[in-house]
Amino acid sequence: MKIGIVCYPTFGGSGVVATELGKGLASNGHQVHFITYSQPARLDFFSENLFYHEVAVAQYPLFDFPPYESALASKLVDVVRFEQLDVLHVHYAIPHASAAYLAKQILKTYGIDIPVITTLHGTDITLVGRDKSFKPVVTFSINESDGVTTVSDSLKQQTLSFFDISREIKVIPNFIDLNRFVNKRREHFKKAIAPDDERILVHTSNFRKVKNVTDVVRIFYQVNQQIPSKLLMVGDGPERGNAEELCRQLEICNDVRFLGKQDAIEEILSVSDLFLMPSSSESFGLAALEAMACGVPVVSSNTGGLPELNVQGVTGFLSDIGDIEGMAQHAIHILEDCDRLEKFKKAAYQRATDFELSKILPQYEEYYQQAIDHAKNLA
Ligand code: GMT
């Protein structure tokens, strides 16, 4: 198949999923064309089946807001026509689904009926998409897509309850490449962070409000009072300053390291003992899956798709949003006993194998093929 993928090319979960999916499809022999405004973060190598088309938005003094959606739609028309794509897969509803809809209508005037698959990732539905400034467009473009997928059943239910949806939604969960995310035993690195064999807790995110990063610090503070431990904070974003400030107030700066954005996240996860994800909303929790694949148990909130991933009492624990005390107690329970910690680590890895790329990729391939066949039958 010749597949066009539209995504946010950043470190965000939806961009990572789209990029990893494209790479997986390319290694299965499909031709994959990424159409975005810059090179996706994890697409920095050569492959004969991978192509990248940059969307450039013309600047003009009249534009207070450069019209990205129009530029994207025009680029989609161009790439679909000249690369003869079979299907377009857009990740994140805003503005990708509506740009794809516009491109689809324009392509019809050239006698091309391209099926459009929209994958909803979370904040496009739970936060941004619900805002009345976007809602009619989001509803329309979901209903007009030829196929719609969500990354968890929870997100599907939320989509159905927030919007007036007439289209069938298929759940295809996020996935993990276990060749990359594997425990890499970096003893020298572990020693540098935890010289006295302290337990290592880790959090990775974009440090947005929804991630509750100050809860991470507060949970760690309680754990740290009972168990010699270190906290690694990976990523960057608007709440980082507040989290750093809180560490100063709690006088735990010597035990907390803010590492900023990191590429080799699997190396950091490999030396970690526990992943903290106290988010107030999380459609799936890809960062938690990445941790589990490296054998790191998860203490998380019980919001959104997290209960579909993190198994209570087996791969970690789930508590109500904001229950810092509960999450700290769960963390201590896992970390205080070596045998128990080992059991949780093994179970976390085992659970991650349910989401292995090779199990999820065929679901997308089959879904694309159905949409392509359907469009052909209508022609
Ligand atoms: O979590 C974020 O803020 C980034 C966001 C995104 O759209 O890139 O992540 C969402 O999509 C990920 C991939 O499907 C999911 O694993 C995350 O749970 C989801 N984030 C939220 O729902 C808050």
What pLDDT is attached to residue 42?
76
Residue 170: which of 153, 183, 154, 184 has the closest Cα? 153
CA of 351 to the centre of ligand 1 (A): 20
- Give exposure, 73-109, as e/b (b: 16+ Cβ within 10 Å): bbbbbebbeeeebbbbbbbbbbbbbbbbbbbbebbee
| Residue 66 · residue 57 · CB < 8 Å | yes
The 10s digit of each residue's pLDDT in 116-159 is: 999 999 888 877 878 889 999 999 999 999 999 999 999 999 99
CA 41, CA 24: separation in Å to the nearest integer? 15
Please state, in angstroms and rounded to a whole number, the distance separating the CA atoms of residues 356 and 223: 32
Distance of CA 134 to the CA centre of its chain: 21
Q: How far apart are CA 149 and CA 115, in angstroms?
A: 14
Residue 20 has what pLDDT?
Answer: 94
Q: Which 3-state string (H, E, C) describes 107-169? A: HHCCCCCCCEEEEECCHHHHCCCCCCCCHHHHHHHHHHCCEEEECCHHHHHHHHHHCCCCCCE
pLDDT at 376: 87
Counting Cβ atoms within 10 Å, is residue 354 exposed (0-12), middle (13-18) or buried (19+)? middle
Quote the ligand 1 centre to 305 CA distance (angstroms). Answer: 10
Going along the chain from its start, the domains and CATH numbers come out as 2-175+357-378 (3.40.50.2000), 187-354 (3.40.50.2000)
Which protein residues touch ligand 1 with a CB less than 6 Å away? 12-15, 17, 92, 121-123, 126, 151, 174, 206, 208, 210, 281-286
| Atom 12 of ligand 1, nearest CA residue | 13
User: Are residues 171 and 192 in contact, defined by beta-carbon separation less than 8 angstroms?
Assistant: no
Q: If you measure from the C-alpha of residue 364 to the centroid of ligand 1, how many angstroms do you get, rounded to a whole number?
A: 19
Residue 222: the pLDDT is 98
Q: Which residue, 366, 21, 305, 4, is CA-closest to 177?
A: 21
Distance 42 CA to ligand 1 centre (A): 16
Please give the distance, rounded to the nearest whole angstrom, from the Cα atom of residue 285 to the centre of ligand 1: 7
CA 282-284-286 angle, to 5 degrees, is 105
- CB neighbours of residue 168 within 10 Å: 7
Which candidate, 272, 278, 286, 281, places its Cα nearest to that of 334?
Answer: 272
Per the structure block, which two tokens stand in for 181?
């995310």
DSSP at 313: T
- How many CA atoms does the CB half-sphere of 328 hold within 13 Å? 18
Q: What angle do CA 131, 212, 222 make, to 5 degrees?
A: 160
Question: How would you classify the pairing of strands 2-6 and 274-277?
Answer: unpaired
- In the reported structure, the alpha carbon of residue 82 is separated from the centroid of ligand 1 by a whole-number distance in angstroms of 32
Which ligand 1 atom minimizes the distance to the CA of 304? 22
Q: Check residue 41 and give its pLDDT.
A: 78
Confidence at residue 11, expressed as pLDDT on a 0 to 100 scale: 64
* Residue numbers of the chain with a pLDDT score lower than 70: 11
H-helix or E-strand containing 204?
A: strand 199-204
Q: Ligand 1, from 123, 152, 209: best to mutate by most atoms within 8 Å of Cβ?
A: 123
